[in-house]
């Protein structure tokens, strides 16, 4: 017997995430703090581009449910449907990021 089933986990892959719809949502609701390209221009807002899709879905659902608390993200996450979360997570995780370590 297992307490957890895979179907209970949020899986962005299980929905048909829509890149264009995610971009439109990001333009309307997220870019002012996180950038449309997911590179934040504010010191207190994290970069979202290149993050794993599943991670973004989990965090957005945690804000929406109150499990993770933040004055701004709590309000914003409550404006998002399940499809919105899947779509914006798909948008930001689809942006390619390259990194360069210091010598
Ligand atoms: C008013 C500014 C603001 C807007 C608009 C905003 N965010 Fe945020 N976001 C933040 C801040 C600040 C944090 C850091 C919160 C914390 O410390 O938990 C954050 C955190 C996050 C995180 C957690 C990242 C991590 O590394 O754990 C995600 C995911 C996220 N935002 C997604 C979004 C999405 C998607 C939108 C648009 C629907 C959005 N945010 C709109 C300010 C904003």
Which pLDDT tens digit goes with each residue over 43-93? 999 999 999 999 999 999 999 999 999 999 999 999 999 999 999 999 999
Round to whole Å and give the CA distance between 27 and 15: 21
CB 66 within 8 A of CB 59: no
pLDDT class of 7 with cuts at 50, 70, 90:
very low
In this structure, the number of other CB atoms found within 10 A of the CB of residue 64 comes to 19
CA of 39 to the centre of ligand 1 (A): 12
70 CB less than 6 Å from ligand 1?
yes
Q: What is the dihedral of CA 42, 43, 48, 49, to 10 degrees?
A: 80
Tell me: pLDDT of 4 over 80. Answer: no
CB 82 within 8 A of CB 11: no
């Amino acid at each position: 017997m297992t307490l957890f089933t895979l179907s209970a986990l949020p899986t962005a892959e299980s929905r048909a995430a829509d890149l264009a719809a995610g971009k439109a949502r990001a333009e309307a609701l997220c870019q002012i703090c996180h950038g449309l390209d997911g590179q934040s221009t504010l010191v207190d807002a994290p970069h979202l581009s290149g993050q794993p899709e599943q991670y973004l879905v989990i965090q957005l659902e945690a804000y929406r449910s109150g499990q993770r608390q933040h004055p701004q993200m709590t309000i914003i996450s409550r404006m998002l449907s399940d499809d919105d979360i899947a779509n914006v997570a798909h948008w930001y995780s689809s942006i390619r990021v390259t990194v360069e370590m210091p010598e």
